[in-house]
Amino acid sequence: MNSNFFLGIFLFAGFALLINSGISFAGQKDSTVEISSTPRSGKGPGWVYLRPKIRNLKEPLKFNWSFGDGQESAEMIPQPHYYPSGRYSVVLEVEDKTGKLHTASITIDADSQGG
């Protein structure tokens, strides 16, 4: 079964930003896991909306998000995540029906607001 998830545009501090990052895996042609974030960088602290983009993985799927600040979630679409100022590495692991693990990551950059 083909699964495609789409991200809507969210407004954040008066602007919208959509950035994708993902990894395609050899041996599973056209199978991908990507992370969409809104926004990916900007003045921190702030809320970030994270969504998976999944293509051609065998369902059912298991999700594990690591937000880069010690917090995790097993939800397919996690609640908006609050990031204080700093840089954070977000990792999404998706396990497909066959037990194969697919991984994607992005960096969230929440610059300080300054003086």
- Is the pLDDT higher at 49 or at 42? 49
Neighbours of 94 (CB within 10 A): 21
Rounded distance between C-alpha atoms, residue 73 and residue 6, angstroms? 19
Q: For residue 66, what is the enclosing H or E element? A: strand 62-66
CA dihedral 37, 42, 48, 51 (to 10 degrees): 0
Domains observed in the chain:
19-111 (2.60.40.10)
| Banded pLDDT at 30 (limits 50, 70, 90) | low
20-58 burial code (b ≥16 CB/10 A, e <16): ebbeeeeebeebbbbbbbbbbebebebebbbbbbbbebe
**Mean pLDDT of the chain, nearest integer:** 77
Output the pTM of the full model.
0.71
- Per-residue pLDDT, 101: 96
Q: What number is the average pLDDT over the span 80-105?
A: 95
Which of 25, 44, 47, 46 minimizes the C-alpha distance to 34? 25
- Per-residue pLDDT, 95: 97
Sign (positive/negative) of CA torsion 22, 27, 29, 31? negative
